[in-house]
Amino acid sequence: MREFGKRILWSLLLLPVTAGGSFAIQKILAAWGIIDPFARIVGEWLKMNVTSTVHWSPEIVLWSVAFIIFIILYSGALSLIWRQGGQPGSSISEYASIASSTFAHIEPPHQLNQNVAAQNRIPIVRLREMAAAVGWNVDRHTSNDGFNLTNKLNQAAADGALQFWGRKYEYEFGEDAADSVPLVRISQKHFLDYRFESTNLFGDASNFYIFTGRLGKQPSQLKGWIYRDIHVDRKQIEAWLPAR
Protein backbone atom coordinates (compact mmCIF):
# COMPACT_ATOMS: atom_id res chain seq x y z
CA MET A 1 0.00 0.00 0.00
CA ARG A 2 2.86 2.33 0.83
CA GLU A 3 4.40 1.68 -2.60
CA PHE A 4 1.06 2.38 -4.26
CA GLY A 5 0.75 5.67 -2.39
CA LYS A 6 4.23 6.72 -3.52
CA ARG A 7 3.32 6.06 -7.13
CA ILE A 8 0.11 8.09 -6.80
CA LEU A 9 2.11 10.97 -5.30
CA TRP A 10 4.70 10.89 -8.08
CA SER A 11 1.93 10.77 -10.68
CA LEU A 12 0.41 13.95 -9.23
CA LEU A 13 3.78 15.70 -8.90
CA LEU A 14 4.67 15.02 -12.53
CA LEU A 15 1.41 16.50 -13.79
CA PRO A 16 2.54 20.18 -13.59
CA VAL A 17 6.10 19.22 -14.58
CA THR A 18 5.03 17.62 -17.85
CA ALA A 19 2.51 20.40 -18.48
CA GLY A 20 5.28 22.97 -18.15
CA GLY A 21 7.59 20.88 -20.31
CA SER A 22 5.01 20.60 -23.09
CA PHE A 23 4.40 24.37 -23.00
CA ALA A 24 8.17 25.00 -23.17
CA ILE A 25 8.63 22.62 -26.11
CA GLN A 26 5.69 24.21 -27.96
CA LYS A 27 7.15 27.69 -27.43
CA ILE A 28 10.60 26.57 -28.60
CA LEU A 29 9.21 24.92 -31.74
CA ALA A 30 7.07 28.00 -32.46
CA ALA A 31 10.04 30.33 -31.93
CA TRP A 32 12.10 28.29 -34.38
CA GLY A 33 9.26 28.51 -36.92
CA ILE A 34 8.86 24.74 -37.08
CA ILE A 35 5.13 24.49 -36.37
CA ASP A 36 3.81 27.92 -37.43
CA PRO A 37 3.13 26.87 -41.07
CA PHE A 38 1.49 23.68 -39.81
CA ALA A 39 -0.65 25.67 -37.36
CA ARG A 40 -1.89 28.05 -40.07
CA ILE A 41 -2.68 25.22 -42.50
CA VAL A 42 -4.54 23.17 -39.89
CA GLY A 43 -6.41 26.24 -38.65
CA GLU A 44 -7.62 27.07 -42.16
CA TRP A 45 -8.61 23.43 -42.77
CA LEU A 46 -10.62 23.31 -39.54
CA LYS A 47 -12.31 26.58 -40.41
CA MET A 48 -13.31 25.32 -43.86
CA ASN A 49 -14.15 21.69 -43.09
CA VAL A 50 -15.20 21.49 -39.43
CA THR A 51 -16.98 24.68 -38.41
CA SER A 52 -16.70 28.35 -39.25
CA THR A 53 -18.45 29.41 -36.02
CA VAL A 54 -15.26 28.80 -34.04
CA HIS A 55 -12.34 31.17 -34.63
CA TRP A 56 -9.67 28.59 -35.55
CA SER A 57 -6.69 30.90 -35.17
CA PRO A 58 -3.09 29.63 -35.36
CA GLU A 59 -2.85 30.27 -31.61
CA ILE A 60 -5.61 27.73 -30.91
CA VAL A 61 -3.82 25.15 -33.02
CA LEU A 62 -0.54 25.87 -31.21
CA TRP A 63 -2.24 25.27 -27.86
CA SER A 64 -3.62 22.02 -29.28
CA VAL A 65 -0.07 21.01 -30.20
CA ALA A 66 1.04 21.80 -26.63
CA PHE A 67 -1.77 19.60 -25.29
CA ILE A 68 -0.72 16.70 -27.55
CA ILE A 69 2.90 17.07 -26.38
CA PHE A 70 1.66 17.09 -22.77
CA ILE A 71 -0.27 13.84 -23.31
CA ILE A 72 2.82 12.19 -24.78
CA LEU A 73 5.13 13.38 -21.97
CA TYR A 74 2.70 12.54 -19.17
CA SER A 75 1.95 9.12 -20.64
CA GLY A 76 5.67 8.41 -20.80
CA ALA A 77 6.12 9.54 -17.20
CA LEU A 78 3.25 7.35 -15.99
CA SER A 79 4.65 4.37 -17.84
CA LEU A 80 7.97 4.82 -16.03
CA ILE A 81 6.20 4.98 -12.67
CA TRP A 82 3.63 2.25 -13.12
CA ARG A 83 5.38 -0.21 -15.40
CA GLN A 84 5.22 -3.70 -14.03
CA GLY A 85 8.17 -4.66 -11.89
CA GLY A 86 9.69 -1.20 -12.06
CA GLN A 87 10.89 0.69 -9.02
CA PRO A 88 9.33 4.15 -8.70
CA GLY A 89 12.50 5.69 -7.35
CA SER A 90 14.66 4.49 -10.21
CA SER A 91 11.97 5.34 -12.75
CA ILE A 92 11.73 8.92 -11.52
CA SER A 93 15.50 9.26 -11.45
CA GLU A 94 15.68 7.96 -15.01
CA TYR A 95 12.94 10.34 -16.16
CA ALA A 96 14.56 13.29 -14.37
CA SER A 97 17.93 12.45 -15.92
CA ILE A 98 16.44 12.37 -19.41
CA ALA A 99 14.56 15.63 -18.87
CA SER A 100 17.63 17.32 -17.38
CA SER A 101 19.89 16.33 -20.26
CA THR A 102 17.25 17.40 -22.79
CA PHE A 103 16.64 20.90 -21.44
CA ALA A 104 20.03 21.65 -19.86
CA HIS A 105 21.23 23.83 -22.74
CA ILE A 106 17.91 25.33 -23.84
CA GLU A 107 17.15 28.94 -23.02
CA PRO A 108 13.95 29.69 -21.09
CA PRO A 109 11.11 29.86 -23.65
CA HIS A 110 10.18 33.46 -22.93
CA GLN A 111 13.80 34.55 -23.35
CA LEU A 112 14.17 32.52 -26.55
CA ASN A 113 11.01 34.06 -27.99
CA GLN A 114 12.21 37.55 -27.16
CA ASN A 115 15.60 36.96 -28.76
CA VAL A 116 14.15 35.47 -31.94
CA ALA A 117 11.54 38.24 -32.20
CA ALA A 118 14.18 40.96 -31.78
CA GLN A 119 16.28 39.42 -34.52
CA ASN A 120 13.42 38.97 -36.97
CA ARG A 121 11.42 42.18 -36.68
CA ILE A 122 12.13 45.07 -39.03
CA PRO A 123 10.58 48.55 -39.43
CA ILE A 124 7.50 48.40 -41.66
CA VAL A 125 8.88 51.19 -43.87
CA ARG A 126 11.35 48.62 -45.18
CA LEU A 127 8.36 47.35 -47.17
CA ARG A 128 8.79 50.35 -49.49
CA GLU A 129 12.16 49.21 -50.83
CA MET A 130 11.21 45.53 -50.67
CA ALA A 131 8.08 46.15 -52.75
CA ALA A 132 9.96 48.24 -55.29
CA ALA A 133 12.52 45.46 -55.65
CA VAL A 134 9.83 42.99 -56.81
CA GLY A 135 8.13 45.34 -59.26
CA TRP A 136 5.66 47.46 -57.28
CA ASN A 137 5.52 51.18 -58.06
CA VAL A 138 5.04 52.62 -54.59
CA ASP A 139 5.11 56.26 -55.69
CA ARG A 140 1.61 57.25 -54.57
CA HIS A 141 1.62 60.25 -56.90
CA THR A 142 1.99 58.17 -60.06
CA SER A 143 0.55 54.75 -59.23
CA ASN A 144 -2.16 52.94 -57.25
CA ASP A 145 0.23 50.10 -56.41
CA GLY A 146 0.76 51.40 -52.88
CA PHE A 147 -2.99 51.47 -52.30
CA ASN A 148 -3.42 47.93 -53.63
CA LEU A 149 -0.48 46.56 -51.67
CA THR A 150 -1.76 48.19 -48.47
CA ASN A 151 -5.11 46.47 -48.95
CA LYS A 152 -3.33 43.13 -49.26
CA LEU A 153 -1.29 43.90 -46.17
CA ASN A 154 -4.43 44.73 -44.19
CA GLN A 155 -5.98 41.42 -45.24
CA ALA A 156 -2.86 39.51 -44.19
CA ALA A 157 -2.90 41.29 -40.83
CA ALA A 158 -6.57 40.44 -40.26
CA ASP A 159 -5.88 36.82 -41.24
CA GLY A 160 -3.04 36.58 -38.75
CA ALA A 161 -0.60 35.71 -41.53
CA LEU A 162 1.89 38.37 -40.40
CA GLN A 163 3.11 39.27 -36.93
CA PHE A 164 3.39 42.98 -36.13
CA TRP A 165 4.84 44.97 -33.23
CA GLY A 166 4.26 48.58 -32.29
CA ARG A 167 4.40 51.16 -29.51
CA LYS A 168 1.04 51.91 -27.88
CA TYR A 169 0.03 55.45 -28.87
CA GLU A 170 -1.24 56.97 -25.63
CA TYR A 171 0.47 60.34 -25.53
CA GLU A 172 2.71 62.57 -27.63
CA PHE A 173 6.47 62.21 -27.40
CA GLY A 174 9.31 62.85 -29.80
CA GLU A 175 11.06 60.29 -31.94
CA ASP A 176 14.20 60.66 -29.85
CA ALA A 177 12.22 59.29 -26.88
CA ALA A 178 10.77 56.33 -28.80
CA ASP A 179 12.41 53.76 -26.54
CA SER A 180 10.52 55.09 -23.53
CA VAL A 181 7.55 53.03 -24.77
CA PRO A 182 8.39 49.38 -25.52
CA LEU A 183 7.59 47.59 -28.74
CA VAL A 184 4.86 45.03 -28.04
CA ARG A 185 3.16 42.38 -30.16
CA ILE A 186 -0.01 43.60 -31.85
CA SER A 187 -2.78 41.03 -31.66
CA GLN A 188 -4.63 39.78 -34.72
CA LYS A 189 -7.87 41.11 -33.19
CA HIS A 190 -6.53 44.66 -33.41
CA PHE A 191 -6.58 44.45 -37.20
CA LEU A 192 -10.26 43.54 -37.25
CA ASP A 193 -10.97 47.14 -36.17
CA TYR A 194 -7.89 49.07 -37.28
CA ARG A 195 -5.79 49.12 -40.43
CA PHE A 196 -2.89 50.70 -42.29
CA GLU A 197 -3.43 53.62 -44.67
CA SER A 198 -1.46 53.70 -47.92
CA THR A 199 -0.86 57.46 -47.72
CA ASN A 200 0.85 56.91 -44.37
CA LEU A 201 2.61 53.63 -45.15
CA PHE A 202 3.92 54.64 -48.57
CA GLY A 203 4.40 58.33 -47.85
CA ASP A 204 7.54 60.08 -46.69
CA ALA A 205 7.11 59.58 -42.93
CA SER A 206 9.77 57.80 -40.90
CA ASN A 207 8.85 54.54 -39.24
CA PHE A 208 8.09 56.27 -35.94
CA TYR A 209 5.16 58.03 -37.61
CA ILE A 210 3.60 54.93 -39.15
CA PHE A 211 0.33 54.22 -37.34
CA THR A 212 -2.49 51.73 -37.33
CA GLY A 213 -5.77 53.59 -37.59
CA ARG A 214 -9.23 53.99 -39.05
CA LEU A 215 -10.35 55.55 -42.29
CA GLY A 216 -11.32 59.17 -41.77
CA LYS A 217 -9.76 59.39 -38.30
CA GLN A 218 -6.58 61.19 -37.33
CA PRO A 219 -4.17 59.23 -35.10
CA SER A 220 -4.64 61.81 -32.33
CA GLN A 221 -8.35 60.91 -32.24
CA LEU A 222 -7.50 57.28 -31.49
CA LYS A 223 -5.01 57.67 -28.66
CA GLY A 224 -5.02 54.71 -26.34
CA TRP A 225 -6.34 52.36 -29.03
CA ILE A 226 -3.77 52.28 -31.81
CA TYR A 227 -0.04 51.69 -32.30
CA ARG A 228 2.80 53.61 -33.88
CA ASP A 229 6.37 52.80 -35.00
CA ILE A 230 5.17 49.55 -36.57
CA HIS A 231 7.53 46.60 -37.05
CA VAL A 232 6.91 43.31 -38.84
CA ASP A 233 8.44 39.85 -38.86
CA ARG A 234 11.12 39.92 -41.58
CA LYS A 235 10.86 36.28 -42.64
CA GLN A 236 7.08 36.42 -42.81
CA ILE A 237 6.94 39.63 -44.86
CA GLU A 238 9.59 38.33 -47.27
CA ALA A 239 7.64 35.11 -47.82
CA TRP A 240 4.31 36.94 -48.10
CA LEU A 241 5.25 39.85 -50.43
CA PRO A 242 3.85 39.06 -53.90
CA ALA A 243 5.72 40.01 -57.04
CA ARG A 244 4.03 42.58 -59.26
Radius of gyration (Cα) for the chain, nearest Å? Answer: 24
Q: Which residue has the higher pLDDT, 24 or 98?
A: 24
pLDDT at 114 over 70: no
Residues 148 and 89 both lie in one domain: no
On whether residue 111 sits in a domain, the answer given is no
**CB 112: neighbour CB atoms within 10 A?**
17
Residues 9 and 84 both lie in one domain: yes
How many alpha carbons fall within 13 Å on the CB side of residue 6? Answer: 12
DSSP 3-state assignment of 168? Answer: strand
Q: How far apart are CA 124 and CA 199, in angstroms?
A: 14
On whether residue 110 sits in a domain, the answer given is no
What's the rounded mean pLDDT across residues 213-227? Answer: 94
Beta bridge partners of 123: 231
On whether residue 113 sits in a domain, the answer given is no
Residues 139 and 220 both lie in one domain: yes
The predicted pLDDT at position 85 comes to 46
Residues 56 and 142 both lie in one domain: no
Q: How far apart are CA 86 and CA 179, in angstroms?
A: 57
Q: How far apart are CA 80 and CA 90, in angstroms?
A: 9
Residues 96 and 64 both lie in one domain: yes
What's the rounded mean pLDDT across residues 14-19? Answer: 69
User: Where residue 53 falls among pLDDT bands split at 50, 70, 90?
Assistant: very low
End-of-domain residue from the set 54, 83, 105? 105
Residues 28 and 82 both lie in one domain: yes
The predicted pLDDT at position 199 comes to 93
Structural domain count of the chain: 2
DSSP 3-state assignment of 233? Answer: strand
Alpha helix locations (H) across the chain? Answer: 2-31, 36-49, 58-82, 88-103, 109-120, 126-133, 145-159, 190-193, 198-201, 234-240
**pTM of the model as a whole:** 0.55
End-of-domain residue from the set 105, 131, 149? 105
Residues 67 and 128 both lie in one domain: no
End-of-domain residue from the set 74, 105, 136? 105
Residues 53 and 12 both lie in one domain: yes
140-157 pLDDT per residue, tens: 889 999 999 999 999 999
Buried b (16+ CB within 10 A) or exposed e, 75-92: eebbebbeeeeeebeebb
On whether residue 171 sits in a domain, the answer given is yes
Residues 96 and 133 both lie in one domain: no
The predicted pLDDT at position 200 comes to 95
On whether residue 112 sits in a domain, the answer given is no
How many alpha carbons fall within 13 Å on the CB side of residue 89? Answer: 1
Q: Which residue has the higher pLDDT, 76 or 184?
A: 184
Residues 35 and 72 both lie in one domain: yes
Domain that includes residue 29, residue range: 2-105
The predicted pLDDT at position 4 comes to 64
Residues 223 and 127 both lie in one domain: yes
The predicted pLDDT at position 86 comes to 45
- Spatial contact of 114 and 39, defined as CB atoms under 8 Å apart: no
Residues 164 and 73 both lie in one domain: no
Beta bridge partners of 228: 167, 211
